[in-house]
Structure 1
Amino acid sequence: MTTLDYELYEKKFKDVTLPHFVSGMSSILSFANSAATFGDKDLEEAECRKVKTDVKVAYEEMSRADREAKGMIDSLTAETLQLMEDFDKAQRNRKDLEESLWIKKDELITLESDRYQVNDQLQAARSTLQHLENSLTTAEARKGEKITGRDVGIGLMLLVPCVGIPMTVDYNKELNNTKRLVKTVESELHHLRAVVKENEEKMSNCNRQIPEKSKEIERLKESLSRKEREVEKMRSACGLLADIKRKLKDCYNYLLTLHGTVETLYNSCSNLYSLDPIMPIIEELFKNVLQQNSRNEILAYDENVQKMVKDVRMIQYQMNMK
């Protein structure tokens, strides 16, 4: 809601109420002139008709102005409630987005940590695998050769540290031991290759998920930014709507009070024969007409209304001087 929207509400309120209010004020002024002229004497039939006509028109026009103003206030109240509901919903959505963003950031941190750990495990597994493959190649190359016990010992030393098998020093059995070690190393190689493959899959999965997670985070950031702008805009709109509602309600209260006094005057004129019995109501009417301030300026500060209020003030003064 902008300042322009604020002004449109004022204009709409003025458009639906002011014409009736001005017409009612005109009839009040006409009645005031009659009251100042007739005083407290018994009224003739024509004078009674004149007073009743002015009061009836004033009552009807103020009633119309009251209905239009009330309809406007009711509409504004409904709009305010709806805006507040939308505002609360937008705030909840913003909170949900914030929580989702934090969750995604935590997931990204976890993924990056997992990738770091998997990378270390993968490098270690690859290094061990390479070492075993080199040892196996050396052992198999020596397996069919006529080698010295010292040479076999050297071959065993290449294998044994990798698989954790106690090294035998029985040189008469070196060939059988070497065969057994080759078989053991081949089994260990099979396991390590599975470990390497598993870690490579984990690494590939992390490398695929991290960019996707980063994109999700960026999308959430953009959504959150839009939602924050929406929330602030709605917060501002709620404030402006509350301000204009207060202002229009003040105008309506002024109108309602005046309408109530005119209604009392209208009901009191049903068996009219003199203004003397209703003089307290007339004084109350003048008092209410003159209750103008910045809170009801939409109605009270109209140029035509101001002129009529000035005339009513003069009539009140003249009547009080008699």
Structure 2
Amino acid sequence: MNRRMAMALTGATVLLTSLAACGESGSSSTGTPAGGAEGAGDTIASDLVLGGPPEFQTRPDGVPGLEEVYGVTFGEFRSLDAGGPLTVNALANGQIDAADIFTTDPNIAANDWVVLEDPEDLFAAQNVLPLINTEQATDGVAAVLNAVSAELTTEDLIALNEQVIIERQDPAAVAGQWLAEAGLDATGTQAAGVSLTIGSANFPENVTLANIYAQALTAQGATVDTQLNIGSRETYMPALQDGSIDLIPEYSGVLLEYFDEEATAVSSEEVYAALPEALPENLTVLEQSEAQDKDAIVVTRETAEEYGLTSIADLAEQP
């Protein structure tokens, strides 16, 4: 049995357990802990509350993966948002002890939080890339978007997020500034005659990336509409598949996992190579960028020092 299959089976158990648990957020001492921590043994994690997006509770690389790969079972899981303000504020205010937060989130550095190492590569590579309706991926559209991917770096993501999240600048303005600095704001006709609807997930980085794609294509003659802040992958993926939207910024590893829960690819190259076979026929990915934004288990500096945490594996130790 491969690791992904084992994690998927564990996820089914977690889902059944969580459905029987108290569904409301509250004190970590009330109700049956989500993730089946009752009777899980006395570990550091069993005394802590983990927060993250609802899908993290059943994703193969979420709660089930933490249990399967690291033997880590938290005392409670709280459904919040995808690395957004609910999760960040809950960690900052002590409502949760650990959080699933994206590695490019500027709040990590701003709050001196600690990203726990992932030595077993539970979280696969997450390179930013365009996911697009196959019919709309003309040579001109591909050339425009591939040029964006060729310039986009992880450092760029961090800087873009700092401007939007910390400094509260307008994502569209931030996108335009990045395109200008990258030399990608020139007008042309590469995408002339193409009409696209570009969507985004409901977190700031994805909104900024959608604006970058939209402005780059508009500058090259495309007619572009946007539907931003659609929601989670479970909400926007059906819209991509039925043609309601044509293009969205995606992340390679979690995209592969969404369509193939048994995928075992971890590295950037392996994940990207596996995507074409996993995707539905009407969807395709263009070239991936160097930029990565991975899930990470993040704790406060105080929690890390109290329990001696540097790695996810440390959470399975006895306190």
TM-score range, shorter chain: under 0.3
Instruction: Indicate the structure with greater strand content.
Output: 2
TM-score by length of 1: 0.16
TM-score by length of 2: 0.16
Q: Of the two, which has the highest radius of gyration? A: 1
Instruction: Indicate the structure with greater helix content.
Output: 1
